Chains A and B, each alone.
Chain A
Amino acid sequence: MAKHKTGTREEWLAARLELLEAEKEFTRRSDELAQRRQELPWVRVDKEYQFETDEGSASLADLFRGRTQLLVYHFMFGPDYKAGCPNCSAIADGFNGFAVHLANHDVMLWAVSRAPIEKL
């Protein structure tokens, strides 16, 4: 017997429908949070940042690659690391798959780390 509480399919459905209400509430609240993120004031960036990429030196503006939005994943790979952080690597496994969809949706997604480009 499973150590977890068990029940009939009918009991499960009743509990599931109760949970569904909580999930729907969470989804609505999550939508509201996303809206509030978009309402934050924008802060002008005047500082010049220089990056090294596979295609050579790039400015922050260059990282947009013609899009109007840029998302940066701050990947933990310090200058003295021999390999990137494993957790960041697992997260990167995820966005590696959908970055192309974002790029075709006016959003460039980059990983940025302090390690030299030869290590990345």
Chain B
Amino acid sequence: MGWTFPWASSRGSDFNFDFNVSFTEDDQRDGGIEYNYRRETVIEWRAGQVGGGAGAEAKIAATTGTDVATFQRDRSGMSAFAHEEGVIYYTYSAYSRGVDGLWGMYQWLDRAPKGRDETGGFWLRRHEYERKVGSRHGRCHRFHQRDSCLVQSDVA
């Protein structure tokens, strides 16, 4: 993706599980998981939200080459730590809409005439937008438009 920030793999460590952004199949089977400081069942996630419903969830999961259950075993958020006098401290985490403010683009959209205007779709990776001269929408933000916009080979 052309990024330069440092990116670490926590594979094999408990890090993601201890900070509540990864879950096991057993967690999912045993009646739901606890994410963003509340219990939820797998199916509830995103229902009624942007592009809501299980069908939408399957579509976003497909953009990562997974099914819904696999996709939902990992979640997003942020955590903060301090290092003082040789000791590491955990200080803060936020998840879900708690990180809205970290999505810099949202702050701009909140000042645009039509706001976030996310009805019915989701964002693509930066190289997946097809340049459409004269298009009213710079992005293909609806599912029925999306198939013609997404460069299918980019997912793999």
Contact = CB atoms under 8 A, between A and B. Distances in A.
Interface of A: 4, 37, 40, 42-45, 47, 49-54, 58, 60-61, 63-64, 67-96, 99-100, 108-117, 119-120
Nearest to A33: B101
B121 to A, nearest CB: 11
27 contacts: A49-B15, A49-B18, A51-B13, A52-B11, A53-B7, A63-B6, A69-B82, A73-B78, A74-B77, A74-B95, A75-B76, A76-B76, A77-B64, A82-B66, A82-B156, A86-B63, A86-B122, A89-B126, A90-B126, A92-B3, A96-B5, A108-B6, A111-B5, A111-B8, A113-B9, A114-B9, A115-B11
Interface of B: 1, 3-16, 18-19, 21-22, 60, 63-66, 70-71, 73-84, 87-92, 95, 99, 102-105, 113, 122-126, 128, 154-156
A68 B8 contact: no
A45 B90 contact: yes
B70 A112 contact: no
Contacts of A96: 3-5
A60 to B, nearest CB: 6
Please report whether the interface of chain B is mostly helix, strand, loop or mixed according to DSSP.
mixed
Given A64-B83, A80-B66, A114-B11, A47 B16 contact: no
Q: Which of B3, B10, B82, B92: most chain A Cβ within 10 A?
A: B10
B155 to A, nearest CB: 6
Contact of B91 (A40, A73, A77): A40
Nearest to A97: B104
Q: Which of B79, B89, B91, B102: most chain A Cβ within 10 A?
A: B91
Nearest to B95: A74
A89 B74 contact: no
A86 B125 contact: yes
Contacts of B77: 74
Contact of A120 (B9, B21, B128): B9
